[in-house]
Amino acid sequence: MVRAAVLPAVGSPLEITDIELPETGPGRVRVRLAAAGVCHSDLSLSNGTMRVPTPCVLGHEGAGTVVAVGDGVTHVAPGDGVVLNWAPSCGSCHHCRIGEVWLCAGALAGAASVYARTADGAELHPGLNVAAFAQETDVAANCVLPVPDGIPLTDAALLGCAVLTGYGAIHHSARVREGESVVVFGVGGVGLATLQSARIAGASTVIAVDVSAEKEALARRAGATEYVIASDTTAKEIRGLTGGQGADVAIECVGRAATIRTAWESTRRGGRTTVVGIGGKDQQVSFNALEIFHWGRTLSGCVYGNSDPARDLPVLAEHVRAGRLDLSGLVTERIGLDGIPAAFDNMLAGKGGRALVVF
C-alpha cells in the first residue's frame, strides 16, 4: 500500500489515500517517486478540459528510483534513477515511422488500463500513463528513461514535461534562430522553461507576458529582457519593444483563445506563433482570410514540445551541467501530496511557477 492523490471523478476534489499496487509483471517497472511536478495539464484533467478514465491517479511529470522490474525489462534495473515519460511512442504507427514520435497514435493507450486499486478494491487508472502523484507507481517499461548523469532526481522530475515542452517549443517547433526576438505568454512552469530556452537559443530580445506583476522577477531570472502585464494593448506594447515590427516568434503557454489571438497579433509580418497551452473546445479563435494572406504569419500547435525524450534528455542534461539551464529556477514551491489541491488553486489564480511534490 502506498499513499496517492486519487481523482474519484471529473470535477471532484482529490483524495489523499492509500492505494494498492500489484506485483510488477512482465514488461513493467515499479518506481519509488522522488519528486513530481504539478502541471496545468493535471488541472485540465481534473476539471474535464482533457478527458481520462476515472477514478485515477494524476501526475505525469516525475522522477524516481526503480524498485523492481518485470520479465523482459533490460534498459533499467533496481536502484536506477529514471525520468517518467508520460507519452511513450509505440514505434510502429504512421507518426512514429516518419519520426514524429510526439504524435504517436498509441501514446496515451495506457491511461485506459487498470494499474492499481484503492484500499477497498476499486479499480484505478493511471491518469496520463504514469500516475506520478503517489509514493510509488507501476508503469510500462517504455514509460521510463534513465536519468542523465549529474542530474539530481528531484530536479530531473521537471525534465519529464515542463522542460521538454518549453525547450522543444523554442528549438523544435518555432526553431528560434540566434538574434531573433521572442515573446512568451504565460510565466508558469512551462513558460519559465521556454524563457530559459529562448535565452539558450540566442534570442536578442525575450519578452515575458503575464497577468501578474509579481512574476516579473521570476521571468527576468529565467532570461526575460522585458516584461509586459497582459492587457488589451499587449500586442501594441510588444511592437513598441521590437522596433515597431512585432516579435519574430511568439510562444503561447496559456491555452486561451484571446491569448492565442494576441500572440499571433504580436508577431511581425512573416512571424511565427507556436501554441503550447491546452485550451478547451469552447475556446474558438477566428481569423479573416485577408489578414492571413496579408500578414504571412505562421500559427502552429505544439505537442510535448515536438520532442523525442530519448533524443532530447541527454541534450537538456548537457545544458544543465553547463549551467545554461537552471531546473530549480522553475520551482516556486515544494509541497507534499496534500499540497496538490492548493497548487491547483494557485494555478487557477495565476500564482507562482512550478509546484514540486517532494517525497
Q: Mean pLDDT per 10-residue run, the chain (359 residues)?
A: 95 94 96 96 89 93 98 97 96 96 94 93 94 97 95 95 97 98 97 98 98 96 97 97 97 96 98 95 94 96 95 96 95 96 92 94
Residue ranges of the alpha helices (H) in the chain?
40-47, 94-97, 153-156, 162-168, 189-200, 216-222, 234-241, 257-265, 289-295, 309-321, 340-348
The pLDDT assigned to 218 comes to 96
Grid coordinates belonging to 268? 511581425
- SS3 (DSSP) at 213: helix
- SS3 (DSSP) at 269: strand
- List CB contacts of 144: < 8 A, sequence separation 6 or more: 29, 31, 66, 76, 82, 83, 84, 85
Q: Which helix (H) or strand (E) holds 64?
A: strand 61-69
The pLDDT assigned to 350 comes to 87
Burial class (CB in 10 A: 0-12, 13-18, 19+), 59: buried
The pLDDT assigned to 164 comes to 97
Please state the pTM of the whole predicted model: 0.95
Q: Distances in Å between the alpha carbon of 117 and those of 27, 126, 213, 309?
A: 20, 11, 44, 29
| Nearest to 33, CA basis, from 3, 79, 9, 65 | 65
The pLDDT assigned to 50 comes to 85
